[in-house]
Amino acid sequence: MRLSTGGAIDRTKILNFTFDGKAYQGFAGDTLASALLANGVKLVGRSFKYHRPRGILSAGSEEPNALVELRTGAYREPNTRATVVELYEGLVAQSQNRFPSLKYDVLSVNGLLAPVFAAGFYYKTFMWPASFWEKLYEPMIRRAAGLGRNARLPDPDVYEKSTAFCDVLVVGAGAAGRAAAAQAARAGGRVILADENPPVSGAENVVYLPRTTVFGVYDGGTYGAAERLADHLPAGPGPRQRLWRIVAKRCILASGAIERPLVFGNNDLPGIMLAGAVEKYVSHYAVSPGRNGVLFLNNDDAASLIPVLTEAGINLAAVVDSRPKSSPAVRDAAVEASTALFAGSFIAQAFGGLAVTGVEITTSRGQTIKLECDFVAMSAGWNPAVHLTSHLDGKPVWDENIAAFVPGTLPPGMEVVGAAAGTGLNANIVPLWSVKNAGAKAFVDFQNDVTASDITLAKQEGFVAVEHLKRYTTLGMATDQGKTANVNGLALMAEATGKTVPETGTTRFRPPYTPVAIGALAGPHRGKNFRPTRRTPTHDWAAGLGAVFVETGLWLRAQYFPQSGEDWLAATSREVNAVRAGVGICDVTTLGKIDIQGPDAAAFLESVYTNSWANLPVGKARYGLMLREDGFVMDDGTTARLAEDHYVMTTTTANAAKVFQHLEFCHQWLWPALAVCFCSVTDQWAQIAVAGPRARDTLAKLVDPPFDISNAAFPYMAAAGLTISGTPARLFRLSFSGELAYEIAVPARYGAALAQALMEAGAEFGITPYGTEALGVMRIEKGHPAGAELNGQTTAHDLGLAKLFSRKKDFIGRALASREALTDPARPTLIGLKLVNQGDRFRAGAHLLPQNVPAVAAHDQGFVTSVAFSPTLGYWIGLGLLQNGPARLGEIIRVYDPIRNGDALAEVVSPVFVDPEGTRLHA
């Protein structure tokens, strides 16, 4: 019911909204909760387990009851608290957890099944038979007990992230927080004032972040905060929320206090609210929850509501003060308002169907009085909002004077002021943790439907430790983290066990203080923006030729270049044939490139590679193998010596960053005295492989004279700096394909021009661009191990590379690589596989078994690592790791792939299928 005057709302701005499809109006400045109350809507939801009618309990972010689904379609957000949803034009909200409608919820029959749903019901009721759990019990419980519905669509909103640094972060813009912020600003500090509420007037020299919840405290003075930029607006462009990481030298916590409900029969009926909330609705929103109220309290603070109601013309039928002797503050206010005061009395229970219609009072003399009313305001005292003080393991301490926990040990740099520190909360409280009554449910945790009797039950069943109490009853485990519930629950357990509250202890709070949208945590890093995309220098050139791209780590690489009508296999086979018969080019820029310089560069390479490097002449490249210290293979690649003290190393695409980090480790931590330095130049150099019998003919047209690339002057594994059309370049005679081949490196900005120049130079030889598929086919034809074989579980022995171990030096991995088990011939070792029936095909991952034995794990002797259709040979070939592999050449084994229905026979062959003598390579 809207009051005719007063409030901080703007009555000139009418806002239309709907709740459960029905149209209503409110004013600018309303929350959804205040607007619903203004329209006389008290019933807003159904409870979690029992489907009891629920209304609005609070006027803030602690709200456990009034949870609604906000907005529609992909924008739908469940479990938003109506008490903090600012009203906007066109707002659409739906109630939750009811079927078929809020007023007629068939599942409210759960209330009659209360014994079934009591504390620990999950564990007790649904134990047997176990197979019923997934099929029957869990779906049934999920339907019956629940909160809002997820939109089940990608989140269409946009989110931002931001970082801020300040001298002082003030959390909470109430009186204490604003004073602290102003003082800190006057002292010249950089001050951020963050507050979860809508903006009030700002402060001088203070960065004021309204609608911003500081939700977590992290190590090193780091705070997480969520700023709601557009939640109070209809959906539109621009970010919805911004996640702040605030690094503050000091933090002043002024988070205020949260009022506690009183625990009595049917205290969850719509219309029963916290006294402070009623006061806020009347004074701030000019809304009354009813015409005729009853105030139930155990402290002086709630007496301030009495004159507020009188002034607003709202009748107060009675004040019920549970203290044996009411205080002058309450007495005077009651007399002033001409309202009945029942001292030493209790509300035993409330009555009503979908809203409260009356209360039953037990007076100090034991009489029972029934009073009609349409709302109840209650106050059991205030809890300082200590949540952020305990995020770094701080333990709140009990303050007898206010019957509440106050901050104990604080995170470094934090101080607490105002009500959050317990200041000003001493209101002659006489704790009242629950009112005994016969039968009616008395709720402690409204959101999780935990009653006073659930806590008694937990005690009876031995779950007395606070952490056990919490988990057994689910007290405080709902989305509100028990902001209104925890202290009442702990105190009831203390009562039941005959201990004090401090002896009983407290659970500690964790971030987030209030729920944070996952979208805000993700920020802009979603989908393709989750990680950066790296493009090669020839990306646009390849795209222009119709290349299909594949993601390899962060890189996008050309996978194959289909011509019209070709599928991937036809395109790949054509590319392989073109390379083997003529010439092809492939961008290999993605290989890691590390420039290594210094007088000790050679000594450094000796330490990180298994093979020897000191004897590599200038102008030559060499294949190198790198191990981890545990003896397994880490990476491989070629390294060229460009000068006496200058090498350029390549790594595999996948391990480029890892190898670089490893080299830094070796240099900075293991051998810091070596005079060497290195730098990643992967992004600085474009590198293109030119492969095939006509590679030299093609290159000869581009290389500036007098550089001689004849086989005699520039043989296999040669390396040199030169110029190509005047551009500085590096040329390496390396081959991954097994053909006569080169890799040319030019500064990255010339990469696309180089590709274009090569295409023109090679046109007469039928030059063909090839992608990673053809690259992979040719390396399998040549038996070169790659990612599938360098899988972190293979040793040099397994890959047939043990001959690359130098005996004359120490290197990373040497000691443990020589362990017996890592050199056991019975280890699965690299072999080639050739199908007996050449029409068959097989797949990587298939198991290798002897013939004529049952296909069980005990007979598993290895697996297929790589498979390709070899256009050179005309059938499918593969590489695999097989026990005793090299000793079994010629043996027929079974390739068994039960998941994909593969079962074939294959001959064990050398992994080198094409040109085993290497004559093409050296041509």
Partner 1 sequence: MRIKCPYCGERGLEEFLYSGDATVARPRDGGAAATQEWTDYVYFRENPNGVHRELWYHNAGCHAWLVVTRDLRSHEIFGVEAAKNVALSR
567 sits near partner 1 (criterion: CB under 8 A): no
Q: Tell whether residue 711 is a contact of partner 1 (CB under 8 A).
A: no
| 814 binds partner 1, rule: CB under 8 A | yes
Q: Crossing angle, helix 466-473 and helix 452-460, to 10 degrees?
A: 120
Residue from 816, 844, 909, 912 binding partner 1 (CB under 8 A): 816
- Any contact of residue 439 with partner 1 (CB under 8 A)? no
Residues 6+ apart with CB under 8 A from 729: 721, 722, 723, 744, 745, 746
Smallest distance from partner 1 to CB 665, Å: 6
Identity of the residue, 232 or 245, whose beta carbon is nearer to partner 1 in the bound complex: 245
Q: Which is nearer to partner 1, 186 or 510 (CB)?
A: 510
What SS3 state is found at 270?
A: coil
Exposed e or buried b per residue across 88-103, where buried means at least 16 C-beta atoms within 10 angstroms of its C-beta:
beebbbbbbbbeeebe
The span from the CA of 554 to the CA of 535, in Å, is 9
Between 204 and 393, CB nearer to partner 1: 393
510 binds partner 1 per the rule CB under 8 A: no
Does 874 participate in binding partner 1 (rule CB under 8 A)? no
247/912 with CB nearer partner 1: 247
Which H or E run contains 537? Answer: none
**Residue 221 engages partner 1 in binding (rule: CB under 8 A):** yes
Contact present, 485 and 451 (Cβ < 8 Å): no
Would you give the distance in Å from CA 340 to the centre of its chain? Answer: 55
In the complex, least distance from residue 814 CB atom to partner 1, rounded to whole angstroms: 6
A 10 A CB-CB count for 400 gives: 11
Terminal C-alpha separation, the chain: 95
> Min. distance of Cβ 646 from partner 1 in angstroms?
20
Told to check if 824 binds partner 1 by CB under 8 A, we report no
Nearest to partner 1 of 244, 913 (CB atom): 244
Cβ closest to partner 1, residue 319 vs residue 666: 666
Binding segment (CB under 8 A) for partner 1, from list 214-222, 525-533, 686-694, 758-766: 214-222
Looking at the Cβ atoms of 520 and 767, the one nearer to partner 1 is 520
Residue 764: what are its φ and ψ, rounded to 5°?
Answer: -70, -15
Kindly report the three-state secondary structure assignment for every residue of 283-321.
HHHCECCCCEEEEEECCCHHHHHHHHHHHCCCEEEEEEE
DSSP character at residue 390: G
Task: Tell how strand 67-70 and strand 91-94 pair up.
Answer: antiparallel
Closer to partner 1 by Cβ: residue 357 or 806: 806
Interaction of residue 683 with partner 1, rule CB under 8 A: no
How far CA 224 is from CA of 168, 247, 530, in Å, comes to 14, 9, 20
Among 14, 670, 826, 887, binds partner 1 (CB under 8 A): 670
Instruction: Please list the residues that pair with 378 across neighbouring strands.
Output: 274, 296
Q: Which is it for strands 191-194 and 159-171: parallel, antiparallel or unpaired?
A: parallel
| d(C-alpha 859, C-alpha 849), whole Å | 6
Contacts of 403 (CB under 8 A, 6+ apart): 381, 429, 431
Q: Which of 201, 668, 710, 851 binds partner 1 (CB under 8 A)?
A: 668
Q: Is 595 in the site for partner 1 (CB under 8 A)?
A: no
Instruction: Decide: is 554 part of the binding site for partner 1 (CB under 8 A).
Output: no
CB of 812 to partner 1, least distance (A): 9
Pick the binder of partner 1 from 167, 629, 840, 915 (CB under 8 A).
Answer: 629
Nearer of residues 123 and 669 to partner 1, judged by Cβ: 669
User: Of residues 75, 218, 351, 716, which one binds partner 1 by CB under 8 A?
Assistant: 218
Label the pairing between strands 555-560 and 548-552: antiparallel
- Contacting residue, 72, 162, 222, 684, with partner 1 by CB under 8 A: 222
Please state the closest distance from residue 29 (CB atom) to partner 1, in A: 39
For the window 366-405, what string marks contact with partner 1 as x by the rule CB under 8 A?
A: --------------------------xx------------
Number of residues that bind partner 1 (CB under 8 A): 29
Closest by CA position to 660, among listed 686, 634, 684? 634
Q: Hey, how many other C-beta atoms are within 10 angstroms of the C-beta on 312?
A: 17
Q: From residue 239 to residue 258, what is the string marking binding to partner 1 with x (rule CB under 8 A)?
A: ------x-x-----------
Tokens representing 837 are: 């029936």
Candidate ranges 168-176, 303-311, 810-818, 903-911; the one touching partner 1 (CB under 8 A): 810-818
CA distances (Å), 857 to each of 246, 736, 822, in order? 54, 35, 21
d(CA 574, CA 563): 10
99 binds partner 1 per the rule CB under 8 A: no
> Does position 810 bind partner 1 by CB under 8 A?
yes
* Of 459, 443, 460, the residue nearest 451 (C-alpha): 443
**Is 161 a binder of partner 1 (CB under 8 A)?**
no
Among 63-71, 745-753, 809-817, 870-878, the segment contacting partner 1 (CB under 8 A) = 809-817
Q: Contacting partner 1 (CB under 8 A), which of 669, 821, 857, 917?
A: 669
The minimum distance between CB 670 and partner 1, in angstroms, equals 6
In the complex, minimum distance from the CB of residue 823 to partner 1, in angstroms, rounded to a whole number: 13
Task: Give me the DSSP letters along 321-348.
Answer: E-SSS--HHHHHHHHHTT-EEEET-EEE
Question: Under the rule (CB under 8 A), what is the footprint of partner 1?
Answer: 163, 218-222, 245, 247, 392-393, 412, 629-630, 660-661, 664-665, 667-670, 672-673, 810-811, 814-816, 819
